[in-house]
Amino acid sequence: MKRLSSNERYQELAEKWLNNTISKEESDEFLQWYNTVPERDIYIPADFAESDQELKGRIFAQINHHISDPIAYSYYHTFKIWISAAAAIIIAIVSFSLFFSSESEVLKQEVAKVQLAVPQTESFVKPVSPISEIKSENPIAVKDIEAGENKAILTLGDGSQIILDDAKNGILANQGGNSVLKAAEGEVIYSFISEKQDPLSKDEQAAPVYNTIETPKGGKFQVKLPDGSKVWLNAASSLRFPTVFNGSKRQVELTGEAYFEVAPDKNKIFEVNTRNQVVQVLGTNFNINAYYDEPTVNTTLLEGSVRVSDLRTNISQLLKPGEQSQLSEHIDVINLKDTNEAVAWKAGYFQFDEADIKTVMRQIERWYDVSVVYEGELPNYRFGGEIERNLSLLQVLKVLQKTKVHFRLKGREVIVMP
C-alpha cells in the first residue's frame, strides 16, 4: 500500500472532516497538525457561502490549497480560522479592518477573525483571543464582560412592568384592545384580540393606552406594533407608543436608537418624535440615532422617503434613500456612500468610518454596560471597520489596542490610556 505523504494525509483528514466521517483518533491527529503548523491566513468574504454544507466544502478547498501550496500563505493576511463545537451549525463571519491617522502620517493595519461553529467534537475548540494573551500585552483585568443580549422591560398602561427577558413565550397582557404576545426570543408582538372578545368600552376607545418598551445598557429587543410596523431597539433605548393607533397619525416617541420598518398606510402618517425632531413617513425603512450623549441626531433612510423636521424652527428636509440628516443647531443632509454603518448594530456589528476613540467607546459603553474613563492625552487616531458585537469585551479591546490606544479594565470601568 502506498504510503501517504504528510500533505496527502492532511488532505484525507480534511475530507473526512468535511463528510463527518472523521474518527476521534483522526480528529485528534488533525487538531495536532492544525495547532502546530504555522499560522495560515485565509480570506473568507461575507458572501462566501449560502449554506453550511457549501461553507464546509469551500473551507475544505481552502485548506487543501494551503496544504498543497505553502507559498500561498504569503498571499493572504490577517485571517485565522478557528472552530468550536455547537448544537447547530452557525455561520458568523467576522472581519475587522482597523485604521488610524494623524496629521503627519497615515497608518493602517488589519485585524480579523473568522468564527465557524460546526457540530464536531470539542477537540476542535481553538480560542480566538485567550485572556492570558491580553494580560501579557496590557494590564487588562482577567475578569471578562460578555456582550449584550435580548433584554428589555415593558411598562403597561397601568404602570405595571414585565421583565421581557424573564417572561415566558405567550400572552403577557391585554392592552387597549390588543394582546401583548412574547412570540420568540427578543420579540414582542401586539395583535388585535379576537372579535369574540368583549368590545372596548367608549372610555377605552376615547382614552388611548400607552405602553413603553425600554432596553437597558447591554440590551436589545424587537417589537411589532399594533399596525404591523416593526421596530428594533438598540441598547439604552426606549419606545413609547399607543396600543391602538386612532386618528389620522401613528405617533411614537423614541429615546436612544431604533431601526424602523413601517407598515404602509396611506391614511395614517407614521411619526417618530425624538430629541428636537419629528420624522414623518407613510411606509419605509430607516434608522434613528437620538442618544443624548451623541453630538447630533442622525436619521438614515434606506428605502422610501421621510420628512425630518426640527421642532425648534419647524424647518424640514425630505430625505431620499442613501441620505442621512444630522440635527444639531440645524439640519444638515449628507449623501452616504454606504448606509451599513448606521444599521450595523441591527446586523450584529460595530462599524466605524473615520470614527474617533470617544465615538467608538460610546458604543462600547452602551453595549457592554460599562463606564469609560480617559487617562492622559489621547492621540487623534481615526478608526474604521467592523467588529462583531457578540464578542466579549476583552476580545473587542484586544482588537482596538492594536493601535497605540490601550485599555485597563477595573470592574465595569474601562480606562482608556495612550
Highest mean pLDDT among 68-72, 110-114, 116-120: 68-72
pLDDT band at residue 170 using 50, 70 and 90 as cut-offs: very high
User: What is the DSSP pairing of strand 106-118 with strand 81-85?
Assistant: parallel
Confidence class of residue 175 from pLDDT cuts 50, 70 and 90?
confident
Between CA 265 and CA 287 the distance in angstroms is 19
Provide φ and ψ at 136, rounded to 5°.
-70, -30
So what's the pLDDT on residue 100?
38
Which pLDDT belongs to residue 307?
96
pLDDT at res. 63: 53
- Check whether 176 has a pLDDT greater than 80: no
Average pLDDT over residues 145-169: 94
Q: Over 80: is that where the pLDDT of 277 sits?
A: yes
Buried b (16+ CB within 10 A) or exposed e, 166-194: eeeeeebbebbbbbbbbeeebbbbbeebe
147 contacts: CB under 8 Å, gap ≥ 6: 218, 367, 368, 389, 390, 391, 392, 393
Task: Please list the residues that pair with 189 across neighbouring strands.
Answer: 181, 224
- From CA 215, how far away is CA 149, in angstroms rounded? 10
Whether residue 26 is predicted with pLDDT greater than 90 in this model: the reply is no
Read off the C-alpha cell for 220.
Answer: 436589545
Interior/surface letters 84-113, b for 16+ CB within 10 angstroms, e for the rest: beeeeeebebbbbbbbbbeeeeeeeeebbb
Whether the Cβ atoms of residue 26 and residue 13 lie closer than 8 Å to each other: yes
Q: What is the distance, to the nearest Å, from the Cα of residue 262 to the centroid of all Cα atoms in its chain?
A: 21
CATH fold group of domain 149-341: Jelly Rolls (2.60.120)
* pLDDT score of 213 more than 80: yes
325 has pLDDT over 50 = yes
pLDDT band at 79, cuts 50/70/90? very low
- Percentage of the chain exceeding pLDDT 90: 50
Residue 92 is predicted with a pLDDT of 33
- Spelled out in words, what is the top-level CATH class assigned to the domain 348-417? alpha beta
What's the confidence (pLDDT) of residue 56?
53
Of 247, 213, 241, which Cα lies nearest the Cα of 228? Answer: 241
Higher pLDDT, 94 or 364: 364
Residue owning grid cell 376615547: 206
What is the model's pLDDT at position 154?
A: 97
Residue 258 has pLDDT above 70, yes or no: yes
In this prediction, residues 330-357 reach a mean pLDDT of 93
Whole-model pTM: value is 0.68
Specify the DSSP class assigned to residue 2: P
What does the mean pLDDT of the chain come to?
A: 76
Residue 108: per-residue pLDDT: 30
Averaged pLDDT, 158-179: 90
Where along the chain do its domains lie? 6-128, 149-341, 348-417
Look at residue 127 in the predicted model and tell me its pLDDT: 30
Which residue carries 503627519 as its cell? 104
3-state helix, strand, coil in the chain (%, to 5): 20, 40, 40
Quote the pLDDT of residue 384: 87
Give the model's pLDDT for residue 96. 37
Cα–Cα distance between 152 and 238 in angstroms, integer? 9
Number of separate helices (H) and strands (E) present in the chain = 8, 27
For residues 66 and 63, give the distance between their C-alpha atoms in angstroms, rounded to a whole number: 5
Q: Strand pairing partners for 271?
A: 251, 280
For 33-63, how does the pLDDT look when each residue is reduced to its tens digit (9 = 90+)? 665 554 444 444 444 455 555 555 555 555 5
- φ/ψ of 13, rounded to 5, equals -65, -40
